[in-house]
């Protein structure tokens, strides 16, 4: 199963991934996006979130 991973060094906290996949991503107080529920990836379109990320901080791992 594909799981989204965020590179915190790249993330600029723009919030785009949270807008597209609110079930999967959340912004925290440090203004970085976090994966809160990676298993929801199959029910939404995290590919879209990865594509819209302006700094390409979202990648996927296979498990
Ligand atoms: S879209 Fe990319 S830069 Fe923007 S909050 Fe999400 S991971 Fe961070």
Domain of residue 37, CATH code: 3.30.70.20
- Ligand 1: residue of 4, 57, 60 to mutate (most ligand atoms within 8 A of CB) is 57
Range of the domain at 21: 2-62
What is the number of structural domains in the chain? 1
Would you state the pLDDT for residue 6?
A: 97
Q: Which residues contact ligand 1 via a Cβ below 6 A?
A: 6, 11-17, 33, 53-55, 57-58
pLDDT in tens, 29-40: 999 999 999 888
Residue 1 has pLDDT above 80, yes or no: no
Which residue's CA is the nearest one to ligand 1's atom 6? 17
Atom of ligand 1 nearest to the CA of 12: 3
**pTM of the shown model:** 0.91
Beta bridge partners of 59: 5
Q: Residue 58: CB partners within 8 Å, gap ≥ 6?
A: 4, 5, 6, 7, 17, 46, 49, 50
pLDDT at 55 over 80: yes
pLDDT at 43 over 80: no
pLDDT digits (tens, 9 = 90+) for 16-29: 999 999 999 999 99
Sign, CA torsion 47/56/4/35: negative
Name the token pair of 4.
């989204």
């Amino acid at each position: 199963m594909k799981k989204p991973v965020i590179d915190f060094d790249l993330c600029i906290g723009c919030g785009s991934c949270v807008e597209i996949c609110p079930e999967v991503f959340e912004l925290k107080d440090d203004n970085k996006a976090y994966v809160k529920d990676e298993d929801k990836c199959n029910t939404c379109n995290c590919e879209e979130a990865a594509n819209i990320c302006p700094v390409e901080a979202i990648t996927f791992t296979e498990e």
